[in-house]
Amino acid sequence: MHLIAIGGSDAGISAALRARELDPSVDVTVVVADSYPNFSICGIPYFFSGEVQPWQSLAHRTAADLEATGMRLRLDTFATSIDVSGQRLSVRDANGSESEIAYDELMVGTGALPSSAGIAGLDTLGRTTACTCCTMGDTFALDQHLTDRDPKTAIIIGAGYVGLEMAEALTVRGLKVTQLQRGPEVLSTLDPELGALVHRELDGRGVEVVTNALVESVSRTDNGLVVAGRHFGDAFERTADLVLAVVGVRPNTDLLERAGAQLGAGRAVVVDETMRTGLPHVFAAGDGVVTHHRLLGVTYLPLGTTAHKQGRVAGENALGGSARFAGSVGTQVLKVFDLVAARTGLREHEATPVGFTPVSTTAVADDHKAYYPGAQPISIRITGDSKTGKLLGAQLVGARGTETAKRVDTFATALFHGTTVAGISDLDLSYTPPLGSPWDAVQIATQRWEREHAKVQVNA
Amino acid sequence: MHLIAIGGSDAGISAALRARELDPSVDVTVVVADSYPNFSICGIPYFFSGEVQPWQSLAHRTAADLEATGMRLRLDTFATSIDVSGQRLSVRDANGSESEIAYDELMVGTGALPSSAGIAGLDTLGRTTACTCCTMGDTFALDQHLTDRDPKTAIIIGAGYVGLEMAEALTVRGLKVTQLQRGPEVLSTLDPELGALVHRELDGRGVEVVTNALVESVSRTDNGLVVAGRHFGDAFERTADLVLAVVGVRPNTDLLERAGAQLGAGRAVVVDETMRTGLPHVFAAGDGVVTHHRLLGVTYLPLGTTAHKQGRVAGENALGGSARFAGSVGTQVLKVFDLVAARTGLREHEATPVGFTPVSTTAVADDHKAYYPGAQPISIRITGDSKTGKLLGAQLVGARGTETAKRVDTFATALFHGTTVAGISDLDLSYTPPLGSPWDAVQIATQRWEREHAKVQVNA
């Protein structure tokens, strides 16, 4: 039995680890396009900020750690095509030589590629500009650029998770950062009311934020890089020494598409909950495939946590197991400077198309009893279905140290089990005055939603 | 409609607030034995440590806040007897005058009283010694004693939640504290392996811990207060300026017992999940009543969080509602110095008698990615049923700042919904390198349990 996993990031490595864990006799090869298997892509911004040094420490596991589990690594090896019926994978190594590897089961984790979001000129500026912090190669190129050219100013196009983390990283590194956001507020994965709290944190740290800025082109001039576009309909131009475009990703489906796999939501490869592609003996997982979502059905929502889970399922099933990916609820968290912003589940505009009647309420509750020193407010926005009372989503913004990241997990766990907003008050959550309240902040928020949107029937 | 709630602590006030919230036309009287309604009893140790000042800030709500909700307070009023068939409550005010109040519905939240655990002499030493930090009156008496007598040394009998919090408080206040624990390890609500981490924290802070110390008597001598008993079978004696016995509580059932209510688990008053006592129009909630537990059935487990939930249910049902207390899973958390210790669900010796076949595993996982500065280990002990894979309980000990208190809530929420140990890996928990891992620490712990105790079936 020979399992090949393509991809050295979350999905591929998770599949390989799971297979080796379940059956140490199984032969596992991981085909990695570069020299950096199992690196924590999510940690790259902290390398740029200088908080993580040296770059080697970004490895979840080293190549030696991985090989110690009994898997074989083929580094700097690019998978070029799949012979599905022959169960053979064609690869090209760093020297350009082509070869074939036979497999019994194949697991494809080719991930995603940076999107250019239709911004002209982005492609010509090279890897120091079109940054999604996707690869270690991009990371070294940008780091070299920062060292060699010593840029003083930077424009970051996009204010999502990575864009905000890079704004922090470059600010910490001493650059003056301007952040351009197409929409009306930063971190558009949150409602603007909560995004505004993140905006305020950026303001306070010296990041200049320009919202409603539609970037159309980036070009190099003698004065630096020029970003041009429209701001509330008017033309605008900004110049900086460095420009990073962090405007999302698109699934990297080329290999599987050519092998005959179907594309679905977000033009990602269709898989079922067992991570099968429909092609015999071919599994796929991670940022290149559709996401089964417990509230939305099939969607595209690439996240590292999901890739780990999907890869683990694929690795188990490649060995004949019957694991199923239980589904995402879209849980995400961001630390930017001293603020933590998190969400899980749906916002109103996501819930309406799938048949819910969502209503939302924001509460501000202390992370612990106000009488104990150091209490800080957490803003918690609850979205629930006004017809059934079902919990649909929660968004939280609080200072670092308020346990906001793990409070979103309480909502995520409850959402996973399909609870109602009122059901959150039934949860037996922990309490001690330095760390909580008898009704935890999460319950104070859901009780507020109940008061505004639900009517308990009593026959007084 | 006139609702009387007896008790100014969690259960009574929660019932009164819920009734007023649901129906602002309902007449609500709260009968409070002392002058301090709605004080945070759990905050008292932080008053002694000096972290919470003045004592008034311990009030969850002031008397004025409560009256602003439209409820009536009868302070310094002791409920002496219930005329169930006549629906009348007899009370005695501070001047000793007796009177009767008619009610339509009655909710009794008389709480618990300190236990003396059979220690001779404890009763004669007064309220500065038999301390469970149950009342503000006790608090003032002890504070006065600390101010007037300026004790240099203290013995704390008991090393449960309050005993440990008081050890910290008195240490912070400058006393040399000796903590005596009957069992083999402090914090006996955790397995000794995790209790040992708390023990180490106490050692490091200068608290002298003596385990296996069975205290038999306390007496006053010219040299101070003498605690005598047996240590591993040998006689031992310790002398200190101050002795606090914090050896648990017993339900305060006198009023309801005399009215005809039944006693059940832990000699607490029997109630059903609607908080009805079986006596017509008489509800009860809080530390005086039995606890419906989702894994254990009916038990006695007095906790403030539970009292809040039960009181809220009683308040709603007193108005004709149909609320049910959904059940405890025994979630508790303690901060002692810079350590946080938490648990939810069952330990092995609790699970076996109710039919489970529990097995446990301890993992140590970082609170966030090790490459990001400040990562610290959390010890997580998972108990699951070896036959069904059902999650039975989790115990966690980590440094303050590791979000341990809210990580126990993930387990509590999952336990509430009856998940398996393996099901924890399906949860879509949040991740960013400064605050977690792609598999959160809680999942690293359950995966370790799976590796040791569960075998996935694969047909490789």
What would the pLDDT profile of B392-402 be if each residue is shown by its tens digit? 999 999 999 99
B249, B132 contact by CB (below 8 A): yes
Give residue A73's Cα distance to chain centre. 26
- The answer to whether B304 contacts chain A (CB < 8 Å) is yes
* Interchain contact, A429 vs B407, CB within 8 Å: no
Instruction: Give me the residue spans of the domains in chain A.
Output: 2-113+250-318, 123-247, 332-453
- The answer to whether B20 contacts chain A (CB < 8 Å) is no
What would the pLDDT profile of A79-92 be if each residue is shown by its tens digit? 999 999 999 999 99
CA–CA separation, B71 vs B93, rounded Å?
A: 19
| The residue type at B91 | V
CA–CA separation, A59 vs B29, rounded Å?
A: 63
Q: Higher model confidence: residue B248 or residue B278?
A: B278
Residue B123: band (very low, low, confident or very high) from pLDDT cuts 50, 70, 90: confident
- The answer to whether B41 contacts chain A (CB < 8 Å) is no
- Per residue in A109-141, is it b (16+ CB within 10 Å) or e — as a string? bbbbbbbbbebebbeebebbbbbbbbbbebbeb
What would the pLDDT profile of B409-421 be if each residue is shown by its tens digit? 999 999 999 999 9
A407 contacts in B (CB within 8 Å)?
406, 409
Pick the CATH number of A123-247 from 3.50.50.60, 3.40.640.10, 3.30.1330.20, 3.30.70.2860: 3.50.50.60
What would the pLDDT profile of A405-443 be if each residue is shown by its tens digit? 999 999 999 999 999 999 999 999 999 999 999 999 999
- The pLDDT score that the predictor gives to residue A32 is 97
B198, B205 contact by CB (below 8 A): no
- The pLDDT score that the predictor gives to residue B457 is 55
CA–CA separation, A48 vs A170, rounded Å?
A: 7
Q: How many residues does chain B have?
A: 460
Residue B458: band (very low, low, confident or very high) from pLDDT cuts 50, 70, 90: low
- The pLDDT score that the predictor gives to residue A233 is 83
Q: Is CATH 3.50.50.60 the classification given to domain B2-38+51-111+250-318?
A: yes
Residue B454: band (very low, low, confident or very high) from pLDDT cuts 50, 70, 90: confident
* Interchain contact, B416 vs A435, CB within 8 Å: no
Mean pLDDT of A250-268: 97
Where is A243: in which H helix or E strand?
A: strand A242-245
- Across the interface, of A10, A407, A456, the residue whose CB is closest to B406 is A407
- Which ranges of A23-81 does DSSP label H, i.e. alpha helix? 44-48, 63-68
pLDDT of A447 higher than 70: yes
B245, B162 contact by CB (below 8 A): no
Residue A456: band (very low, low, confident or very high) from pLDDT cuts 50, 70, 90: low
Chosen for mutation from A428, A439, A450 (greatest number of chain B CBs closer than 10 Å) is A428
- The answer to whether A152 contacts chain B (CB < 8 Å) is no
Q: Is the peptide bond before B114 cis (omega within 30 degrees of 0)?
A: no
B1, B102 contact by CB (below 8 A): no
A405 contacts in B (CB within 8 Å)?
403, 430, 432, 435-436
What would the pLDDT profile of A107-152 be if each residue is shown by its tens digit? 999 999 988 888 998 877 776 666 656 789 889 999 999 999 999 9
Residue B460: band (very low, low, confident or very high) from pLDDT cuts 50, 70, 90: very low
CATH architecture of A332-453: 2-Layer Sandwich (3.30)
CA–CA separation, A94 vs A395, rounded Å?
A: 45
Tokens 């023990």 -> residue: B199
Chosen for mutation from A166, A198, A281, A429 (greatest number of chain B CBs closer than 10 Å) is A429
B417 contacts in A (CB within 8 Å)?
413-414, 417, 419
- The answer to whether A405 contacts chain B (CB < 8 Å) is yes
- The pLDDT score that the predictor gives to residue A415 is 98
What would the pLDDT profile of B244-274 be if each residue is shown by its tens digit? 999 889 999 999 999 999 999 999 999 999 9
Residue A297: band (very low, low, confident or very high) from pLDDT cuts 50, 70, 90: very high
CA–CA separation, A304 vs A249, rounded Å?
A: 13
ipTM here: 0.97
Distance from CA of A258 to the nearest CA of B (A): 29
A435 contacts in B (CB within 8 Å)?
333, 335, 340, 405-406
- The answer to whether B287 contacts chain A (CB < 8 Å) is no
Conformation bin of residue B267: beta by default, left when phi > 0, alpha when psi is -120 to 50: left
B10-22 vs B304-318: helix crossing angle, rounded to 10: 40
Residue A460: band (very low, low, confident or very high) from pLDDT cuts 50, 70, 90: very low
Domains B2-38+51-111+250-318 and B332-451 share a fold: no
Q: What is the mean pLDDT of chain A?
A: 95
Here the tokens at position B387 are: 């036959």
Q: Is the peptide bond before B358 cis (omega within 30 degrees of 0)?
A: no
A330 contacts in B (CB within 8 Å)?
428
CA–CA separation, A382 vs A361, rounded Å?
A: 5
Class of domain B332-451: alpha beta
What would the pLDDT profile of A17-64 be if each residue is shown by its tens digit? 999 999 999 999 999 999 999 999 899 999 999 999 999 999 999 999
- The answer to whether B26 contacts chain A (CB < 8 Å) is yes
User: Which residues, including other chains, have CB under 8 Å from residue A124's CB and lie 6 or more apart?
Assistant: none
pLDDT of A458 higher than 80: no
CA atoms within 13 A on the CB side of A194: 29
CATH of domain A2-113+250-318: 3.50.50.60
Chosen for mutation from B428, B435, B450 (greatest number of chain A CBs closer than 10 Å) is B428
A423 contacts in B (CB within 8 Å)?
326
pLDDT of A175 higher than 80: yes
Pairing assessment for the beta strands B105-108 and B282-284 based on DSSP bridges:
parallel
B163, B179 contact by CB (below 8 A): yes
